[in-house]
Structure 1
Amino acid sequence: MSDPAEEEPGQAVRLRLAEEKNVWLCTVRPDGTPHVTPVWFVYRDSTWWIGVDRASVKARNVREDPRVSLALEDGGSPVVAEGDASLVRGGFPREIVAAFQRKYGWDVSAPARPGAGRELLEVRVRRWLLAGTAQ
């Protein structure tokens, strides 16, 4: 029997992941408190991709503790994922850069400000929490 965390969510959830623009990302600060922020994302092949500034709080937090949670904005039909994030610096996958361009008209690899570096958060799901039930 396969682990439900390794399975893709159903078609309705996958459609939302393709269409919705924002997800709330929760990382863990060094003192153990949560840091929550809305971010743009692309979901492909069981992985969430999020563009971040290398010096951002979320990037610093993930370097210290890779555990994250993600929640789509609609509280009436919850889609929450828990996973482990890793940072990808440079050499961004072309298909992910193209997916951000299609979804947002945005070059995820371009620095937000002069001298700032960009990274991608790559989040593999450990567990889905859908409609109030852990899977």
Structure 2
Amino acid sequence: MSDLVNEPGPAVILRLAEEKNVWLCTVRPDGSAHVTPVWFVYQSSRWWIGSDHSSVKVRNIGKEPRVSLALEDGRFPVVAEGDALLIRDGFPHGVVTAFEQKYGWDVSAPTGPGSKRVLLEVHVRRWLLAGTAQ
């Protein structure tokens, strides 16, 4: 899958590297929104988000891959719309390392007995920056 947009500018890339949380919006089976804050890394023109395989967001993405992401600062909005892929095995080493460096967290480690980790790989279709669709 190729991205249909250019990378955002250097100021946005810096925010993506420094900010800790992003709000992830997925679509429930009934069409309503499910919004939750998540940790993320932005690497190789993709948003990466770790989750437990049984989470609501993973179930939603399994049926409807369209998502929206919004950084927490509403004064200088950074919003991305895209499509999420569920990576169940073979997490990219660079992404695992990036989570470790940013959060001190092993994104591939199960949360408990019988649990499995999933990595969400979000390909951006559109950036909305400072209220302007890109």
Q: Report if TM-score (shorter chain) is over 0.5.
A: yes
Partner AA of 1:48 in structure 2: W
Partner AA of 1:47 in structure 2: R
Task: Kindly provide the CA deviation profile for residues 78-127 of structure 1, in whole angstroms up to 9, marking residues without a partner as x.
Answer: 00000000100021000000000000000000011221010100000000
CA RMSD of aligned residues (A): 1.0
Partner of residue 95, structure 1: 94
What is the alpha-carbon distance in structure 1 between the residues aligned to residue 49 and residue 94 of structure 2?
A: 13
What is the alpha-carbon distance in structure 2 between the residues aligned to residue 127 and residue 50 of structure 1?
A: 18
Aligned-pair CA distance for 1:5? 4.6
Partner of residue 8, structure 1: 7
- Is the CA contact (8 Å cut-off) linking 1:5 and 1:128 kept in structure 2? no
Aligned-pair CA distance for 1:30? 0.3
Identity of aligned residues (%): 73
Partner AA of 2:28 in structure 1: R
What is the alpha-carbon distance in structure 2 between the residues aligned to residue 99 and residue 67 of structure 1?
A: 24
Q: Which secondary structure does the structure 1 equivalent of 2:16 belong to?
A: helix
**Deviation above 2 Å: which 4+ runs of structure 1?**
none
Q: How many residue pairs are counted as aligned between the two chains?
A: 132
Q: State TM-score, norm by structure 2.
A: 0.96
What is the alpha-carbon distance in structure 1 between the residues aligned to residue 103 and residue 46 of structure 2?
A: 18
Matches within 5 A, 1:19-34: 19-34=18-33
Name structure 1 gaps, 5 residues minimum: none
